[in-house]
C-alpha cells in the first residue's frame, strides 16, 4: 500500500463539455454507463489506496449520492468549496484532511493509469517538492509543454504550435509541508500561481510515462473515451 493520501480535483463546471454533458460535475460524466470517476477509483484500488479526498463544488451531491463515504475498501472524504477558490485554493482548503507527508493530486477529468509505486519512488529519489507525471505527445498545443533539464522542470510553454513535447497529465505528487509554505490566501491557481511561478527556484521534477492517457475536457475527447475505455 502506498503511504499517500489521494486528492481528486472534481469541482469544475465543465463548461466546454456542456454540449454533451450537463447538470452534473464533469468527473461524473458517463463513459459506457459508468461515471468517469469510477475508472479513476478502480485504478487507485489496484494500489490498495484506502482514502480519497474529493475537492468538490458544483453539484457535488451527485458524487456523494453515487459513491457515498465508502466505495469498496476506499474511505471518501469531501472538501466542499463554498466559494470559488481555484485549483490551488481548493487544495489548500483540504489540507486539514491530508495526513501523509506527500500526497497524490489527480485531475478528476483525466485518466493516466501509470505505475504509482515507480512514480512515488521517483519523487523520493529526487526529494522533490512537486513531481509531475508527463507523457510525450505529438501536437501537444492543447495542453502546453513542460520544459526540462534532464528530469528537472525549468519552465512551462503554454499551448504553442510544437510538433511534439512532454505534456502535464494532471497527476502530481506534492510534499505537504512544501505546499503549506507556498499556499496563497483565497482563490489561486495551482498551475499558474504555483507551478509556473516557482519552477525555477523550487524542486519540481517530471517523470515521463508512456501509458495510455485521456482527458474528457472537450466533446471530442469525451466521445473518444467512449470507444477506448
Residue-wise pLDDT for 104-133, tens only, equals 999 999 999 999 999 999 999 999 999 999
What is the pLDDT, as a whole number, of residue 34? 94
Rounded to two decimals, what is the model's pTM? Answer: 0.95
Return the closest-CA partner of residue 41 out of 13, 76, 65, 17. Answer: 76
What is the pLDDT, as a whole number, of residue 23? 78
Q: Which residues contact 33 (CB under 8 A, 6 or more apart)?
A: none
Q: How far is CA 11 from CA 2, 15, 89, 178, 195, in A?
A: 25, 12, 11, 23, 20
Q: What is the mean pLDDT of residues 68-84?
A: 95
Residue 28: CATH number of its domain = 3.90.550.10
- Whether 164 maps to a domain, the answer reads no
Strand partners, 166: 136
- Whether 119 maps to a domain, the answer reads yes
Residues of the chain with pLDDT > 70, as a percent, come to 93
- Whether 153 maps to a domain, the answer reads no
Domain count, the chain: 1
What is the pLDDT, as a whole number, of residue 64? 97
Q: What is the mean pLDDT of residues 74-103?
A: 95
- Whether 102 maps to a domain, the answer reads yes
Give alpha helix (H) positions in the chain. Answer: 36-45, 61-67, 86-93, 116-125, 176-182, 196-198, 219-228
Q: How many CB atoms lie within 10 A of CB 146?
A: 24
- Whether 209 maps to a domain, the answer reads no
Q: Are 85 and 149 in contact (CB under 8 A)?
A: no
What is the pLDDT, as a whole number, of residue 24? 84
Residues 70 and 145: their CA atoms lie apart, in Å, by 37
- Whether 155 maps to a domain, the answer reads no
- Whether 17 maps to a domain, the answer reads yes
What is the pLDDT, as a whole number, of residue 160? 65
Which domain does 43 fall in, by range? 5-133+171-187+214-228
Residue 20's pLDDT band, with cuts at 50, 70 and 90, is low
Residue bearing the bigger pLDDT, 207 or 224: 207
pLDDT(32) > 90: yes
- Whether 141 maps to a domain, the answer reads no
Residue 68's pLDDT band, with cuts at 50, 70 and 90, is very high
Q: What is the mean pLDDT of residues 75-93?
A: 94
Strand extents, DSSP E, the chain: 5-10, 30-31, 34-35, 51-56, 70-71, 74-80, 102-107, 110-111, 130-138, 145-149, 152-157, 164-175, 204-208, 214-215
Strand partners, 70: 75
Range scoring the smallest mean pLDDT among 15-24, 45-54, 101-110, 169-178? 15-24
Q: Across all residues in the chain, what is the average pLDDT?
A: 92
Residue 143's pLDDT band, with cuts at 50, 70 and 90, is confident
Q: Which residues contact 201 (CB under 8 A, 6 or more apart)?
A: none
Q: What is the DSSP letter of 24?
A: S
Amino acid at each position: 500500500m502506498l503511504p499517500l493520501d489521494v486528492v481528486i480535483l472534481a469541482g469544475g463546471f465543465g463548461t466546454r463539455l456542456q454540449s454533451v454533458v450537463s447538470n452534473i460535475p464533469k468527473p461524473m460524466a458517463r463513459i459506457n454507463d459508468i461515471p468517469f470517476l469510477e475508472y479513476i477509483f478502480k485504478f487507485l484500488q489496484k494500489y490498495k489506496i484506502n482514502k480519497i479526498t474529493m475537492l468538490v463544488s458544483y453539484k457535488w451531491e451527485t458524487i456523494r449520492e453515487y459513491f457515498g463515504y465508502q466505495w469498496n475498501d476506499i474511505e471518501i472524504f469531501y472538501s466542499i468549496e463554498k466559494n470559488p477558490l481555484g485549483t490551488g485554493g481548493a487544495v489548500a482548503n483540504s489540507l486539514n484532511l491530508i495526513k501523509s507527508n506527500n500526497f497524490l493530486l489527480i485531475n478528476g477529468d483525466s485518466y493516466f493509469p501509470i505505475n504509482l509505486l515507480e512514480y512515488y519512488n521517483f519523487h523520493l529519489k529526487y526529494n522533490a517538492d512537486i513531481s509531475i507525471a508527463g507523457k510525450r505527445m505529438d501536437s501537444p498545443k492543447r495542453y502546453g509543454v513542460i520544459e526540462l533539464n534532464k528530469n528537472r522542470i525549468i519552465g512551462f510553454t503554454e499551448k504553442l504550435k510544437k510538433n511534439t513535447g512532454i505534456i502535464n497529465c494532471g497527476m502530481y505528487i506534492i510534499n505537504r509541508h512544501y505546499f503549506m509554505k507556498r499556499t496563497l490566501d483565497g482563490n489561486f491557481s495551482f498551475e499558474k500561481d504555483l507551478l509556473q511561478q516557482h519552477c525555477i527556484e523550487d524542486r519540481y521534477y517530471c517523470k515521463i510515462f508512456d501509458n495510455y492517457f485521456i482527458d474528457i475536457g472537450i466533446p471530442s475527447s469525451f466521445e473518444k473515451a467512449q470507444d477506448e475505455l
